[in-house]
Every structure is written in structure tokens, then in C-alpha cells.
Amino acid sequence: MNRFLQKIRSGEVALGQMVLELFTPGIGPMLANCGLDFVIYDMEHGRCDIAKVAEMIASCRGTGITPLARVPDLENTPLSRVLDLGAMGVMVPRVETRAQMESIVAKLKYPPQGNRGVALGLAHDLYNPRGAAYFPQMNAETAVIAILETVTAFGNLDEIVSVTGLDVAWVGHYDLTVSMGIPCQFDHPRFLEAMARLVSVCGKYKVPCGFLPPTPADAVHWIEKGFRAISLGSDVGVFMEAVRGFRRSLVEDHA
């Protein structure tokens, strides 16, 4: 069962966290016990290779949390490799065109919906090869997430978001502001206009949009704006902020 897809397909907000540094087998179960719906293991910016992500994904079994993998780029070959390792969805960075989006969906779905290669009896089916019914079931349970993070991507929003098989349009907000020539200006009118347009286009095609807000206040803000897949910051940011707060309470408040 893909809890992440269940949540967003029912119109609820799915909460998770992006992991860039704390690649310990305990991180997925800990996030599950915090009530989160998904965890994204970052292979683009994080120090996670294919062997490490396999270990991380396996550690999520039985916890109820949905393990997702952010691959390094859309040319990662084969794109479906993390699915064979048991990931329940793939996040692909720097998607800019409809042709790229269609190719991504095809690589992550079994025929007839796509052309994902077949290797059964591995981690993804718990080493228990099944019959023909397995393929449509896995197609339905595999999350496809595109990161839209350039001016080019936002110029092609309708063409990208309308592709059948896309589950979440996720904004890469830092890269987008750099691409727009307004680095890190998340209150800039042009950035806010782009976010409003993303929500509008996603609403038209019934595709949820995703965001990584750094604070609870930011999370509330973007949820109220219409975002339904939310990463509660990253492991690095949340851990360091918690330690700073702990130290501040101890050293400063009790000085």
C-alpha cells in the first residue's frame, strides 16, 4: 500500500521529509513513528548512492511510511532501478518539457502504460514473483514526482502537468528563483505569481503540487495556498534547528 498516493489521491495533505544526510536505517522508522506519510531519500544533493538507498528503503518495510527516491537526474539509467530496490516512487529533478515527462512516466511504468523492464522475485515484490495482475497493481502504486525548477519548466506547465501518469508536480524553489534571476527571494512578486500559476494549472489537471517549506509557519502558508505534498523541511534543517533550540533553552534562557 502506497500511503503517500492514498493521501494525495483522496485530497488530503501528505506530510513527509527529505533526507540528505542522516542515512541511517533508523531514519525511516523514526519518521514513521512521528506520524509522517513519506520519506524522500535524496540521491541528487544528498550523499546517498544506490547501495545506501537500497538499505534505507528496506528499513521502511512494515512501518507504514512510503519510501521515495530522488534520483540524480532524468538521465539516470535505468530510471526504474530504485523501484526494483523497493522504492514506492521516484522524484525526478529538472523536468522541463512534455517529452521528458512522457519519457519519465514510460520508464517507470510497466507495459502497456510504459516500458519498465521486468525483473521479478527481487526486493520490490519481496522476493515473491507474482502473476500478470502484479503489473497493473504496481503501475497504480508507483508515484511519479517531477521537480519543476526552471523558467523553461514554468513556461511549459500545461504541457508537463497534463501528462497522464504524473502524480505530483513539485517545485524546486531555490533553483527556480535562481533561474528567474531573483535568488532566494521567496517573497518576490514574480515567484509568488509562479506559485499561484502552478497551483492553478495543477488544479486544472487534478495533479497535487509539492513543496519543501523550512518552518511550520511556511508549511501552513503553502498548504493554505493549495500545496498537498509537503516535506517538513529536511533532516539537516530540522535536526540543527532542534539542537539550536535545545542549546538556546539551556544556555541562554537559564543563564
Query: What is the pLDDT, as a whole number, of residue 251?
Result: 86
pLDDT single digits (tens) 176-235: 999 999 999 999 999 999 999 999 999 999 999 999 999 999 999 999 999 999 999 999
Q: Measuring CA to CA, which residue among 166, 181, 12 is closest to residue 91?
A: 166
Task: Domain ranges for the chain, please list them.
Answer: 3-252
CA 195 to mean position of chain CA atoms: 17
Residue 1 has pLDDT above 90, yes or no: no
Instruction: For residue 27, give the C-alpha cell.
Output: 531514519
Residues 127 and 29: their CA atoms lie apart, in Å, by 22
Tell how strand 229-234 and strand 168-171 pair up: unpaired
CA 243 to mean position of chain CA atoms: 26
Q: Is 40 left (phi over 0), alpha (psi -120 to 50) or beta?
A: beta
Residues 64 and 73: their CA atoms lie apart, in Å, by 27
HSE, CB side, 13 Å, CA atoms: give it for residue 253. Answer: 7
Query: What is the pLDDT, as a whole number, of residue 76?
Result: 85
Residues belonging to the active site: 45
The pTM (predicted TM-score) of the whole model is 0.96
Which amino acid, 77?
T
pLDDT single digits (tens) 91-140: 999 999 999 999 999 999 999 999 999 999 999 999 999 999 999 999 99
Class of CATH domain 3-252 = alpha beta
